[in-house]
Amino acid sequence: MDFMTVIMLAVMALLIFFMFRNGQKRKRDLAALQEQVVPGAEVMTNGGIFGTIISIDDENNKVLLETSPGTILTVHRQIVSRVVPTEEPAAEDETAEAQLNEDNATFVGEPEFGERAETAKPKTDEK
């Protein structure tokens, strides 16, 4: 065997190794996703449709998905691409309400109902 043949065989072996490794990783990720796909879970489909799983038919690989109240879609189980993580509401910081900007002393936050939202004018140095 010459040197180039050995290099080509080594590269092919490396490619086969990486393909095998990626296949195992994909299979592991799919198994983890299927464990999370349970009735009541918020999911997103491959088409970008968000909904809540109502029921799963394992024999026919069908999932009943409620996208809005009263709207139920029947989709194939493999269409579910990911489970949407439930976000806990962030705790409101009480100090943010009365916080002042020290540079020009303007209120930081949303204006109250009826107040005008004015932008601060930049300072100009006139001589």
* pLDDT for residue 81: 87
* CATH number of 71's domain: 2.30.30
Q: Is residue 117 part of a domain?
A: no
Q: Does residue 58 share a domain with residue 18?
A: no
**Distance (Å, rounded) from C-alpha 77 to C-alpha 64?**
9
95 in a structural domain: no
> Does residue 103 carry a pLDDT above 70?
no
Number of domain units in the chain: 2
Would 93 be classed as within a structural domain? no
Any domain includes 110: no
Task: Output the pTM of the full model.
Answer: 0.52
Confidence class of residue 100 from pLDDT cuts 50, 70 and 90? low
pLDDT tens digits along 17-42: 999 999 999 999 888 888 888 899 99
Question: What's the pLDDT band for 13 if we cut at 50, 70, 90?
Answer: very high
Q: Which structural domain, as residue segments, surrounds residue 70?
A: 38-86
Cβ 94 vs Cβ 88: under 8 Å:
no
Are 43 and 13 members of one domain? no
pLDDT in the model for residue 76: 93
pLDDT at 108: 57
> Is 19 contained in some domain?
yes
Instruction: Identify whether residues 27 and 47 lie together within a single domain.
Output: no
